[in-house]
Amino acid sequence: MDKIDQNILDGLRSWVECESPTSDAEAVNRMMTLAETDWSGIGFDVVRIPGRDGFGDHLSIKSNWGKESSLSNTGILILTHLDTVHPHGSFGDNKFVIDGDRVTGPGILDMKGGAYIAYQALKSIVNSTDKPLLPIHILCTSDEEVGSPTSRSLIEDAGKSAKYILVTEPARDGGKIVISRRGVGRYKIITRGVAAHAGVNHKDGSSAIREMAGQILRIEDMTDYEQGVTLNVGKISGGTADNTISDYCEATVDLRVESTQLANEIDGKLRDLKPIQENTQVLIEGNMNRPPFSQTKESRDLFDMASAIAAEVGFDLVGMHTGGGSDGSFLAEKIPTLDGLGVDGVGPHTLTEYLKISSLQPRMNLLRKLILNLT
C-alpha cells in the first residue's frame, strides 16, 4: 500500500469509528467535534451551527484565502454530510476492517470517505505553494440521510455565493460521477375508520387497515417505468388489537421522478386520493424534499473539465444518472454542479458497505486539481 494511502486510512479510521447515526444528535455532534478539530487544525475558519428539532449541529467551514471575494457567484461550495444510516453497534466491534483493497465500516462509503478526502485534498493545498483562485466553503451537515430538514435552508443560502457546487457523495458503478438525479418525495398516508369489536359487532366497524390496503394498490399503480416514476410504500402500521376493527393506519411513500412536471402531477394525484369505503377518511402529509437534478450546459462544461483532469490523474471519468437524491439537488438547476465526487466502493446503507483503497488517492487528486483549476 502506498504510504499516502495509509496516511489517509489512518485519519479516516477515527471518523468512521466515531459512529454518527442521524437520529442520535449527541453522537453526530461528537463526529462534528472531531471534524471541527481537523479543519481548524489546517487553518480553516469553522463556524458551528447548533442543531435543532432533534438533529445534530452543522459546520460551515471557510478557507482563509479569497475572503475579499465573498459576494455572489464567486466561490466553490463543497457539500458533505457526516450523519449515517447505521444504528449504533450495527458493525459490532469491527467498525474499520481492511481486507485487501476493501475497507468496511459504518458510513465509510456514504459518505465519510468522500468527506475525508475533501479534507485531505484541501489539507494538501494548504501545505503547498498552490492556492485556488476562488474561496472555498465546505458545508458539513448532520441530517442528509433523512432529507436535510434542518440543513436545506443553509445549503440554499450558501449557494448564493457559489459559482460551482462539488458534492462528495460516493462514486457509482466503479467510479462514475453523478451528473443528474431523480427528484425525491416523501409522504405519509393516513387512513381513519370506525373501531368496533371484531366478534360482537363487526358490521358496525370500518377498517382503516382495509382502506389503506386499497389505497396502497392505487398508489403503487402510479409507478410508470417508461416515464421514470416510481412509488414505494415502505412502512405500514396500524390497529390496536387482534379482536378490534382498526380505526387508524398509516403508511410511508417514497416517490422518485425525473422532472418537476411529473413531480407536480404525482403530488396532485396523491392529494386527490379519495376514500374507497364508507365511514373512512384518507389524509396526506409530506411533499417533494429534493427536486429533480438535470445536467445544464454549465454543468456539462464543469464535467468536461473534471474529465480532462481525471485523465491527467490516470483514470476515465464517466458521468451517469441515478435515482438517489442528494444535497446537490437543491442547487443543481441554478449552479454548475458535480456530484458523486467521493470514493468508489460498493453497498452504501448496507452492513457490507465498503470503499476501495485504490480509489482514495486518485479521487483525492481529482478534487485537489479541480479546486485549483476552477476560475
In the block, cell 358490521 appears at: 203
Are 101 and 174 within one domain?
yes
Spatial neighbors of 163 by CB under 8 A, at least 6 apart, are 73, 74, 75, 76, 134, 335, 336, 374
Res 79: pLDDT: 98
pLDDT above 70 for 1: no
- DSSP per-residue letters across 92-144: TT-SSEEETTEEE-TTIIIIIHHHHHHHHHHHHHHTSS---SS-EEEEEES-G
Domain interval for residue 123: 3-182+293-373
Res 310: pLDDT: 97
Strands, E assignment, 175-310: 177-181, 183-192, 196-197, 230-238, 244-245, 248-257, 281-290
Q: How confident is the model over 273-283, as pLDDT tens digits?
A: 999 999 999 99
| Nearest-angstrom CA–CA distance, 81 and 306 | 22
Q: Is the dihedral of CA 194, 197, 198, 202 positive or negative?
A: negative
Res 67: pLDDT: 60
Contact 216, 253 (CB under 8 A): no
* Rounded alpha-carbon distances, angstroms, from residue 324 to 53, 62, 169, 179, 184: 25, 28, 11, 12, 8
Name residue 333's amino acid: E
pLDDT above 90 for 316: yes
pTM of the model: 0.89
Res 327: pLDDT: 96
Q: How confident is the model over 240-253, as pLDDT tens digits?
A: 999 999 999 999 99
Spatial neighbors of 305 by CB under 8 A, at least 6 apart, are 370, 373, 374
Percentage above 90 pLDDT, the chain: 91
Decide which of 269, 289, 309 is a domain's last residue. 289
Averaged pLDDT, 287-296:
92
* Rounded alpha-carbon distances, angstroms, from residue 339 to 65, 266, 333, 362: 24, 26, 13, 16
Res 323: pLDDT: 86
Closest CA to 132 of 120, 124, 144: 124
Decide which of 252, 269, 289 is a domain's last residue. 289
Averaged pLDDT, 180-205:
96
Are 117 and 206 within one domain?
no
How many domains, in total, are found in the chain?
2
Going by pLDDT thresholds of 50, 70 and 90, the confidence category of residue 70 is: very low
Averaged pLDDT, 166-173:
95
Are 167 and 267 within one domain?
no
Are 77 and 215 within one domain?
no
Instruction: Give kind and range of the element (H or E) at residue 373.
Output: helix 357-373
pLDDT above 60 for 114: yes
For 136, the grid coordinates are 472555498
pLDDT above 80 for 5: no
Q: How confident is the model over 319-375, as pLDDT tens digits?
A: 999 988 899 999 998 999 999 999 999 999 999 999 999 999 999 999 999 999 999
Q: 3-state class of 64 per DSSP?
A: coil
Averaged pLDDT, 110-120:
97
Decide which of 242, 264, 289 is a domain's last residue. 289
Res 2: pLDDT: 64
Are 225 and 97 within one domain?
no
Look up the CATH number of the domain holding residue 222: 3.30.70.360
Averaged pLDDT, 18-22:
98
